[in-house]
Structure 1
Amino acid sequence: MMKHITLLILSLMFTFACTSVQAKDEGLYFGASVGSASIEQSGSDADLGDFDFNENDFAWKLFGGYQFSGLLAIEAGYVDLGSPSDSRGSVDPYGLDVFAVAGIPLGPVRVFGKLGGIYWDADLEYIGKNISNDGLDLAAGIGLEFELGSIAVRGEVEYFDILDQTWMYTVGATITF
């Protein structure tokens, strides 16, 4: 049993060390993604009273970055989180984000995680009253990327600490130069 575990660990170490496994193109890249954003906000306000908002809408983003190796990149982008609404109001959030991205290449597939921040602005219209809010908050995400040379298709889930909480689910593509 111990012999099998040792063999498995050595095999994994060899696989991660192979240059063919770290096939991610290095350099400048640009991409676009589309999907859905889920926005939650609740609380109490002197102007609005008690409120509860939990809606989804179409979302998209444009981004670019620099891939230093198959393991590390830096990425920045613009996100439009849609304009979700319900019978009492709507919110229109968007932002600029910056991430450090760490990935594990597994052949043509790369699993990645990202951590950074987002500067956001949201205009809220609720029961006929308008409120604008903005901030600089935490942003994080995980994803999976399928690479075909300099072109890649990616799917990801991102969390933004906007309002109470905002989640973005997207599918997109990148091209590396």
Structure 2
Amino acid sequence: MKTIIPLIFAVPLLAVSSNTLAGSDSGLYIGASVGQAQLDFDDELPDPGNVDVDIDFDDDDTAFKIFAGYNFGLIPLVDLAVEGAYVDFGKFNGRVGTFNNSELEVDGWTAAGLAGFKLGPVGVFGKVGFINWDGDADNFGGDDGTDPLYGIGARFTLMSFQVRAEYERYDLDNIDIDYFSVGGAITF
């Protein structure tokens, strides 16, 4: 009976992967994701003729992201990483003044810090960072800037390959973009 009790506690510990006990996979990773971007842009711009121009975009489109990062893997069960990405949100249809078929394109470069928990092959994470974005629209030109981003996600890891599902929010000047995506990454 004395040997059975230690075995009862030892078997679950042996079943847990060595990566979980020793810390997360560390190193450089690259990946890509595809998903749906939802844009909301409602504003008024002064016109040189002293008439305000109403802008209204509330549309969604397919978007993609290519990213690279470095996972530090310093603390067991905790992921700490930095990540950079290029994201293309696609084209959105809306209204600018009397032009009902205007298009708005938004893309940008991001830099973010990630923190998460990893329990075996499954993990969750959050991210906070910035996007340097560029927006071009028919009938009123373009705009750009650097604004905050934040998000949450879940991942499933199998050896050095990872499947990720993410929700990210981009708070650009007067534009809000929600990006839901699924992607993959590989750690080197």
Shared fold, TM over 0.5: yes
Q: Among residues 84, 87, 97, which one is paired with 1:79 in the alignment?
A: 87
Question: Is 1:156 equivalent to 2:178 in the alignment?
Answer: no
TM-superposed CA distance for 1:19, in Å, is 5.3
Q: Secondary structure at the match of 1:21?
A: helix
Q: Among residues 53, 68, 79, which one is paired with 1:49 in the alignment?
A: 53
Provide the C-alpha distance between the structure 2 equivalents of 1:155 and 1:55, rounded to a whole number of angstroms: 22
Provide the C-alpha distance between the structure 2 equivalents of 1:71 and 1:174, rounded to a whole number of angstroms: 15
Q: Among residues 179, 183, 187, which one is paired with 1:172 in the alignment?
A: 183
Alignment map for 1:131-146 (pairs within 5 Å): 131-146=141-156
Root-mean-square deviation over aligned CA pairs: 1.8
Provide the C-alpha distance between the structure 1 equivalents of 2:102 and 2:149, rounded to a whole number of angstroms: 25
Alpha carbons 2:38, 2:58 under 8 Å: kept: yes
TM-superposed CA distance for 1:130, in Å, is 3.1
Alignment map for 1:42-121 (pairs within 5 Å): 42-47=42-47, 49-69=53-73, 70-86=78-94, 87-121=100-134
Alpha carbons 1:66, 1:73 under 8 Å: kept: yes
Give the TM-score, by structure 1 length: 0.84
Alpha carbons 2:57, 2:92 under 8 Å: kept: no
Gaps of 5+ in 2: 1-12, 95-99
Greater Cα offset, 44-53 or 18-27: 18-27
Gaps of 5+ in 1: 1-13
Provide the C-alpha distance between the structure 2 equivalents of 1:88 and 1:34, rounded to a whole number of angstroms: 25
Give the TM-score, by structure 2 length: 0.79
State the match for 1:29 in structure 2: 29
Question: Is the radius of gyration larger for structure 1 or structure 2?
Answer: 2
